[in-house]
Amino acid sequence: MLILLKTPLETLNYFIDSMAKGHPDATVMDITDPDFFSKATELLPHMDTQTTVLLFNGAGRAFEFSDGRNVWESKGVRLFNFLVDHPVNYIEYLRAPLVGETVLVIDRSHKAFVERYHPDVRVFFMPHGGTKGHTAIPYEEREIPVIYLGSCQERVADFPALPYLSESVKFYEFIIRRMIGDYSLSAQAAVEMFLDHEGIALPQDKEADMILAAHCNVERICRRKQKLETIHRLAQGGIPVEIYGVHWEEVAAIFPDLIRLHERVSSDECVRLTGNAKIALNLSTYLKDGSHERVYIAMLNKALCVTERSRYLEEKFTDGKDIIFFDYERLDLLCDKIKHLLSHPREADEIIQNAYARVARSTWGDRLNDIIHGPYDPPTTP
């Protein structure tokens, strides 16, 4: 038996629906359904050690009998908890893993974090998947030159104090300097540098709390800065960008004729829009050794994927052949690359076709197959 659990989040539900399309035997259940518990209870007699349950970000993990026993644990199912954000956000799950639970993470550095701070957790790396959408429009007929599907981070108003540090301000100042000075640096690496620099030794749970503080605050500052600078530089170069998301007003006000803002749209509409774009940007996800669904959505819907670097992506794809990489430190080169590709459609289309063939087995349905029959680590497909 295969059980897929939907959540209150539309994006994650789209992943579930995309996975289920290739598995007509899958039972898809929505944990927000008022009848969820009664429907799930009906399945209990059929659950055993051959049952696979997949959920995202822990949603539906706490399914219990009236006596407080966890249902999934008691029935001995193979439970896969797919974390599509940094695992530091899910400490409560990692500190109390269930019997039979496997955590899946989308970046190899996330896997290293879990292995270091929660060695009792069974964890595997599993990159995002993508979804093939509507009929692909030929490159030269596409109406959107450049698209970015996503929001910018809001300004950080204040920083929470860390009670076990005598000078929290000093900590944040150090982390900000390091991370803005080196965009390749993760929050975890910056925290480790601070502790080493100050000669501070803390229990691992306190270290994890510091990483969470850096991740939720300083990383947000860096992501906002990176995104705004990138879009600003493209507009300065005369490149129009269609953005679907919020918190972009600052840069759009400077270039109202080039930066066109739209409200957030559904995941399915994101796929459709990508299929009408020549170039799809992937910006500042802080997945330095993993990937994001925007990469696979672009490639599977035949938009040219232009993305920040990632060690994992650099292993799986070749710059200029099936993907275009850029560096935040050289945004002038990004402008030159995009202008060149927009003015050389045959070259762009060749890259697109190479990428499409490369990710033929990188859909969400393929990821589910890997989970059911594995999981394996590292994946053999991109």
Residues 184 and 113 in one domain: no
Residues 109 and 14 in one domain: yes
Q: Look at residue 376 and tell me whether its pLDDT is greater than 70.
A: no
Asked if residues 7 and 60 have their Cβ atoms less than 8 Å apart, the reply is yes
CATH number, domain with residue 95: 3.40.50
Answer whether residue 254 is part of any domain. Answer: no
Q: Look at residue 379 and tell me whether its pLDDT is greater than 70.
A: no
What does the pLDDT read at residue 106?
95
CATH number, domain with residue 291: 3.40.50.2000
Residues 113 and 13 in one domain: yes
Share of the chain above pLDDT 90, in %: 86
Residues 146 and 121 in one domain: no
Task: Report cis status (omega within 30 of 0) of the bond before 378.
Answer: yes
Residues 12 and 119 in one domain: yes
Answer whether residue 244 is part of any domain. Answer: no
Answer whether residue 227 is part of any domain. Answer: no
Residues 202 and 145 in one domain: no
Secondary structure letter of residue 132 according to DSSP:
-
Answer whether residue 245 is part of any domain. Answer: no
What does the pLDDT read at residue 24?
86
Q: Look at residue 210 and tell me whether its pLDDT is greater than 80.
A: yes
**Direct distance between the N- and C-terminal alpha carbons of the chain, in angstroms, rounded to an integer:** 28
Closest CA to 94 of 186, 208, 188: 208
> Total structural domains in the chain?
3
Give the residue numbers spanning the domain of 193: 168-221
Residues 103 and 196 in one domain: no
Answer whether residue 51 is part of any domain. Answer: yes
Characterise 5 by phi-psi region: left (phi > 0), alpha (psi -120 to 50), beta (else): beta
Residues 143 and 172 in one domain: no
Answer whether residue 81 is part of any domain. Answer: yes
Q: Convert the pLDDT of each residue in 274-327 to its tens digit.
A: 999 999 999 977 898 999 999 999 999 999 999 999 999 999 999 999 999 999
User: What's the pLDDT band for 158 if we cut at 50, 70, 90?
Assistant: confident
Q: Convert the pLDDT of each residue in 227-247 to its tens digit.
A: 999 999 999 999 999 999 999
From the centroid of its chain, how far is CA 247?
19
Residues 311 and 185 in one domain: no
What does the pLDDT read at residue 167?
86
Q: Convert the pLDDT of each residue in 52-80 to its tens digit.
A: 999 999 999 999 998 999 999 999 999 99
Q: Look at residue 380 and tell me whether its pLDDT is greater than 80.
A: no
Answer whether residue 176 is part of any domain. Answer: yes
Q: Look at residue 157 and tell me whether its pLDDT is greater than 90.
A: no
